Amino acid sequence: MPLPDIRREVTSQSRHQAANFDNLYTVAPDVLTSRVASLSPFGVNLLLQRWVHYSSRVVVPTHTFHEQTVAFYEEADLIEEWCDEASGDDLRAETQACLNWLRADRDGSTYQELLKNPQSHSMIRRAMRQALKERNQS
């Protein structure tokens, strides 16, 4: 997949770079600061669309991928905001604290489950900000 101008220091005739997505793996949170690029949700959906098309010759609209992954994007955004706003310096501990908060039982449901419904996103974000406010004040 072509990645134009991803490494501006490359001065050869072809400045465009490419990435091979055959060997995918997850990255530990503490090495994310050295990443070269990150994709927006639309970028991830476009990547998924191209990957599925490459593998099967079926073109799936990007909004179909978005419908299936929006809860995960929102969860990642919430975790990032939690870590940015939390008073602690331990990224792993803050990530786990956010996950514990998202997964806590609330009358038979969890905020993590409610993220599957986009209509719940703003309510969950408000609740998270309130929880962080209370946590940081104590």
State mean pLDDT over 12-16.
62
**Token representation of residue 26:** 């997850």
The domain segmentation of the chain, as residue ranges, is 1-18+35-60, 69-138
User: Do the Cβ atoms of 88 and 94 come closer than 8 Å?
Assistant: yes
**CB-neighbour burial class of residue 22 (10 A; exposed 0-12, middle 13-18, buried 19+):** exposed
- Among 7-16, 79-88, 127-136, top mean pLDDT goes to 127-136
- Which pLDDT tens digit goes with each residue over 50-80? 889 988 999 999 999 999 999 999 999 999 9
pLDDT recorded at residue 7: 66
H helices of 20-61, where? 41-56
pLDDT recorded at residue 2: 56
Cβ-Cβ contacts under 8 Å for 46 (sequence gap 6 or more): 62
**Token representation of residue 92:** 């792993």
Q: Which helix (H) or strand (E) covers residue 18, if one does?
A: strand 17-18
- Which pLDDT tens digit goes with each residue over 93-118? 999 999 999 999 999 999 999 999 99
User: Do the Cβ atoms of 86 and 94 come closer than 8 Å?
Assistant: yes
